[in-house]
A and B are shown apart, each in its own frame.
Chain A
Amino acid sequence: MKTVLVVDDEPTIRALVNAILDGSGVRTLEAADGPEGLDMARRYQPDLVLLDVVMPRMDGFAVCQRIKAESSMARTPVLLLTALAQESDHQRARRAGADGIVQKPFSPAVLRATVESILNGGKKG
């Protein structure tokens, strides 16, 4: 079973992502902020990280950069779930090494399809 790590400081969003992925045959793990997310990513080596951007303590860009910098996780796909809507934010995401961006608010069907395509085909969203 594939593992997806959801890092978001909003419990409602974590619950939503959990509900969306429920029934798609993946195991979800949750972290409530950047450092916790990084820690869990190291420990559980998930197949995909869904990462919020604006979080206290360490933002999603920094977490993404750290994940991509560690040899054991460099190939782990990272999808940023962000409410930031400016082109400069998207550029930052690319510079941080993110494999894709899903803009909030998102449609559950779109998120589920994106996640499934990354997990199944290695295709990057």
Chain B
Amino acid sequence: MRGKAAATPTSLSLEPLLLSRDGQPWQERIELVRLTARSQALYCSAVQIFAATTPESLYEAVLSAVSSLLRVDLAALFLIRDKDGRPACRALCIGHSTVVFDAAEAPTTAFADAALAATAPLTIEAPNPLLCDLPSSFNGAQAPAVLLAVPVRSGSEELGLLVVGRRKGFSFSPDQVGLLQGLADQTSLALEKLRVVTAAAEQGRRAQELVSIASHELRTPLTALQGFSELLLSREVSEEVQKSWISLINQESVRLGSLIGELLDLTRLESGRVELNLEPVNLRDVAEHVVSLWRGEGRRSRLSIRFQAGVPCLRADVCKLTRVLANLVSNAVNYSPPGAPIRIEAAPRCLARPSTLHLGPPGSEDAPCPAGTSIAIRDRGVGISQEDQARVFQPFYRAAPLEGDGSACPAGKPSGAGLGLTIARRLVEWHGGLMWVESCPGKGSTFGFCLPLHPPRRSASGTALTPGAIV
């Protein structure tokens, strides 16, 4: 919470009035002066609003402009919250001080709900019960006698509301409603700008982080390649030793190759250069195909499929969906004892327990389930501790085999670059779905995801729905 004095130039110059000796009606002249003053004020407010570099400073600039241009007792900015689509008050200006609320504690009001439903400017005057249903900080000493709300929209998308109120006196003129709507439009543009800027910054930060981790991961196989090849060149060793070193060089170069391939895929996903080839997909076909990938290695018996009745045909990118399933199955295989059963389940409803969090884009680890279809891969492997569950989707994160456990991962260390789960999660998000994980150390893990019935439409550039772009 912070306070800030409102400051926007509003004074009218009387000078032009004195010059009106050319026969032009005074009324027209006054109107012209009024319009000029208003455009100047709007221009000044736009400059301030667009200069904001954080959501908080944007809210403050908007309310400061609204309060001084419309001379109101209170002004508030409501934004639609993700949780339930209700408008929540993110900033409130009373007199000259502005209070900014965190997303978690932003209050809602019945008036704002009604105004959002009205989808057009809504005015209420005393006596009206909605006037009393305001956050306590709204009311102060005296409840407002009149409230006006205008929608803040970006295209057809509702972003929120701009609300103004007076404690006494008269209702708002059509002119003032128009002025408030103008400010609401500026607000929506500025919010959009901030959203794009924030998403770009976040994307840059993630790319940087990926480069830094990737360079580390690439150095390990390189160390083996350089080390063993130099030893081969400089030492006389038996043929048997030579062979074992060459086989290690071969193993590490294969690993390096797959690591680079996965890194490129992840980079594409992170930078938004992904095209989904959406088509009707029969999920059972995908599951059976994934099971067949493991058949050649005698592991077929451990993989089973269980589909509940009513699993609908999905609209999805079949290659990418196959990859998601294959990555999750591969993870289950890596973290289970040999032969332990792994089951692919699907249902026309969410398969996660009610207490399980759906992992949203970074920063929102508890997103609402997109409903639709749910797919889960259940294993009876080593399981993941609560602490590690938060990290398994990070690039290159590999959970350690559990304490004192030698049997679960016979190879000692799971294979794979450590990018499988990260890529799976991103691919699910590109389909508008969300990933979740349930696990009990020692008993096994379930990795699941829920997909919406209709994947979201995205812009041609693919940037509109880049995960993580929320102000």
Contact = CB atoms under 8 A, between A and B. Distances in A.
Are A and B genuine complex partners? yes
A106 B227 contact: yes
A56 B228 CA distance: 25
A10 B212 contact: no
A16 B230 contact: no
A109 B227 contact: no
Contacts of A56: 398-400
Nearest to A53: B216
B120 interface: no
Contacts of B212: 86
Nearest to A52: B220
A71 interface: no
A109 B413 CA distance: 28
Given A57-B400, A84-B216, A85-B215, A19 B231 contact: yes
Given A56-B400, A104-B222, A109 B234 contact: yes
Contacts of A16: 223-224, 227-228, 231, 248
B216 A108 contact: no
B50 interface: no
A105 B219 CA distance: 6
Contacts, number: 68
A41 to B, nearest CB: 18
A101 interface: no
A9 B400 CA distance: 10
Nearest to A85: B215
Contacts of A108: 227, 230-231, 234
Interface string B222-257: 111111101100100000000001001001100000
B280 interface: no
A83 B215 CA distance: 8
Interface in B319-337: none
Given A104-B219, A108-B234, A12 B224 contact: yes
B368 interface: no
Contacts of B412: 11, 32
Contacts of B413: 9-11
B295 to A, nearest CB: 28
Contacts of A33: 400
Contacts of A57: 400
A6 B220 CA distance: 15
Interface in B190-216: 212, 215-216
A54 interface: yes
B230 A107 contact: yes
Nearest to A23: B235
B226 A12 contact: no
Contacts of A19: 227-228, 231, 245
Candidate in B223, B228, B398 with the most chain A CB atoms within 10 angstroms: B223
Nearest to A32: B412
A104 B223 CA distance: 6
Nearest to B233: A108
B209 to A, nearest CB: 12
A54 B218 CA distance: 13
A4 to B, nearest CB: 16
A15 interface: yes
Interface in A20-64: 20, 32-33, 54, 56-57
A39 B439 CA distance: 29
Given A32-B412, A83-B217, 9 more contacts: A10-B224, A12-B221, A15-B248, A20-B231, A83-B220, A85-B215, A105-B219, A108-B231, A108-B234
Interface of A: 9-13, 15-16, 19-20, 32-33, 54, 56-57, 83-86, 104-109
9 contacts: A9-B413, A13-B224, A19-B227, A19-B228, A19-B231, A54-B216, A83-B215, A104-B222, A106-B227
